[in-house]
A and B are shown apart, each in its own frame.
Chain A
Amino acid sequence: MTPARDEKIDIFRKMSLLKQNDERIRAVIKSGRLVLPYYSPRGQEVIPSAISVCLTPDDYICTIYRGTHDSLAKGVPVKQLWAEIAGRATGTCKGKGGPMHITHPASGVMVTTGIVGSSMPIANGLAWASQLSGDGRVTVAYFGDGASNIGAFHEALNLASLWRLPVIFVCSNNGYAEHTKTCVGTSVDRISDRAAAYAMPGIHVDGNDPIAMYGAARQAIDRARAGEGPTLIEAVTFRFFGHVFGDDDAYMDEGELEAHRAKDPYPVYRAALIASGDATEAELAAIEAAHAAEIEEAAEFALSSPYPDSREIYVDVYEEELSA
Chain B
Amino acid sequence: MSGKMSMIQAVNLALHDAMKADPKVLVLGEDVGDAEGGGILGITKGLSQTFGASRVKSTPIAEQAIMGAAIGAAIAGYRPVAEIMLMNFTTVAMDMIVNHAAKLRFMSGGQTSVPLVIRTMTGASMGNGGQHSDFLEAWFAHTAGLKVCIPSNPADAYGLMLSCIADPDPCIFVETMPILFSQLPDAPERGVAIPLGKARLARGGSDVTIITYGRQVFDAMQVANKLAAENIDCEVLDLRTISPLDMDSILGSVAKTGAAIVYHEAVKNFGTGAEISSRIHEQLFGKLRAPVVRIGAKFAPVPFAKSLEDTFLPSAADLEAAVRSLVGDRALAPAG
Contact = CB atoms under 8 A, between A and B. Distances in A.
A130 interface: yes
B244 interface: yes
Interface in B32-84: 54-55, 57, 59-60, 62-65, 67-78, 80
A318 B60 contact: no
Contact of A319 (B72, B74, B109, B169): B169
Contacts of B71: 121-122, 125
Interface residues of B, number: 45
B76 A97 contact: no
Given A126-B73, A158-B62, A159-B60, A120 B68 contact: yes
Interface stretch (B8-16, B100-108, B281-289): B100-108
B75 A95 contact: no
Interface in A133-189: 133, 139, 151-152, 155-156, 158-159, 162-163
B19 to A, nearest CB: 13
Interface in B85-136: 95-96, 99-100, 104-113
A315 B109 CA distance: 8
A129 B80 CA distance: 10
B55 A124 contact: no
B62 A126 contact: no
Contact of B75 (A111, A114, A317): A111
Interface string B144-179: 110100000000000000000000110000000000
B72 A96 contact: no
Interface residues of A, number: 50
Interface stretch (A18-26, A101-109, A290-298): A101-109
B13 to A, nearest CB: 24
Contacts of A95: 109
A124 B107 contact: no
A115 interface: yes
A229 to B, nearest CB: 15
A152 B92 CA distance: 10
Interface of B: 26, 54-55, 57, 59-60, 62-65, 67-78, 80, 95-96, 99-100, 104-113, 144-145, 147, 168-169, 197, 244, 247
30 contacts: A62-B72, A92-B108, A96-B109, A101-B108, A103-B104, A103-B108, A110-B72, A110-B75, A110-B112, A113-B100, A114-B99, A118-B99, A118-B100, A121-B65, A121-B68, A121-B69, A122-B96, A125-B80, A126-B75, A132-B26, A132-B55, A152-B65, A152-B95, A155-B62, A159-B62, A316-B110, A317-B144, A318-B145, A320-B168, A323-B244
Given A110-B72, A115-B100, A316-B108, 7 more contacts: A94-B109, A122-B71, A128-B69, A132-B73, A155-B65, A316-B110, A317-B105
